Amino acid sequence: MAVISAANAVKEYESGSKTLRALKGVDVSVDPGEFVAVVGPSGSGKSTLLNLLGMLDVPTEGAVTVAGERLSELSKRERTNLRRDTVGFVFQSFFLIPTLTARDNVTVPGLVHGDRSALQDRAETLLERVGLGDRLNHYPNELSGGQKQRVAVARSLVNEPDILLADEPTGNLDQDTSDQVLDVFGRIAAEDDVAIATVTHDPQVTEYADRVVELVNGRIES
């Protein structure tokens, strides 16, 4: 059963007196262990869709369901808690803290739960899994772009999310390092049963994703 889904999702943005319909009734769902890539031209609504799935925004019409909870039935605080407990995020620009080592960066989303030493151990295991076991004490400015993004992937997993959402995760990477990051996504989905959805312009993603969904002008092409 899908751990995350949008059903007939519509998203409108108001700017001045105009209404822009960015999503025009989108159905998409991702199962545990599945890696889905959303592709499409610039402005087709990819980030808008990802923001809905990540509970960063709510649909104007239609339903978004995350881990069995229907978004429209949750308060803002409940949404924030559900997001913290179930969703990991990866962004194009990594967003690592420059004054922290790779290992400490990975622990950051877990610090609200306490137990620093268990977190350090978990961070180490995650960094080893993404191929950075020899970079635990490196600072972000001592890492390549692909290594930084793999630190960000490890960080996104520290709270054991059911869902990992990635917005253009390879947008700042060259071909070889993009491949490494996409390969890590494929392995994590399969090994940890995490549902992964990424939006991307990267044509290489089709080689790694289980399913590719194309958005065109706010609708899914089938």
Q: Does 170 bind ligand ATP (CB under 6 A)?
A: no
CA-derived radius of gyration, the chain: 17
Contacts of 219 by beta carbon, 8 Å cutoff, 6+ apart:
24, 25, 26
Q: Does 141 bind ligand ATP (CB under 6 A)?
A: no
Tokens of 15: 């700017």
Sheet with 4-15, edge to edge strand ranges: 18-30, 4-15, 61-66, 69-70
Q: Does 45 bind ligand ATP (CB under 6 A)?
A: yes
Q: Which of 43, 160, 174, 216 binds ligand ATP (CB under 6 A)?
A: 43
Q: Which of 31, 32, 47, 108 binds ligand ATP (CB under 6 A)?
A: 47
Residue whose token pair is 């950075």: 132
Cα 6 off chain centre by: 15
Q: Which of 20, 97, 111, 216 binds ligand ATP (CB under 6 A)?
A: 20
Q: Does 197 bind ligand ATP (CB under 6 A)?
A: no
Beta-bridge mates of residue 144: none
H or E segment to which residue 82 belongs: helix 76-86
Q: Does 22 bind ligand ATP (CB under 6 A)?
A: yes
- Residue 221 near residue 46 (C-beta atoms within 8 A): no
Report in angstroms how near the CB of residue 177 gets to ligand ATP at its nearest: 20
Q: Which of 1, 16, 17, 42 binds ligand ATP (CB under 6 A)?
A: 42
Q: Does 54 bind ligand ATP (CB under 6 A)?
A: no
Nearer to ligand ATP, 44 or 105 (CB): 44
Candidate segments 12-20, 116-124, 181-189, 204-212, binder of ligand ATP by CB under 6 A: 12-20
Burial 61-77 (b: 16+ CB within 10 A, else e): ebebbbeeeebeebeee
Residue 50 CB neighbour total at 10 angstroms: 20
Nearer to ligand ATP, 22 or 26 (CB): 22
Report in angstroms how near the CB of residue 64 gets to ligand ATP at its nearest: 15
Q: Does 216 bind ligand ATP (CB under 6 A)?
A: no
> Which residues form the interface with ligand ATP (CB under 6 A)?
13, 15, 20, 22, 40, 42-48
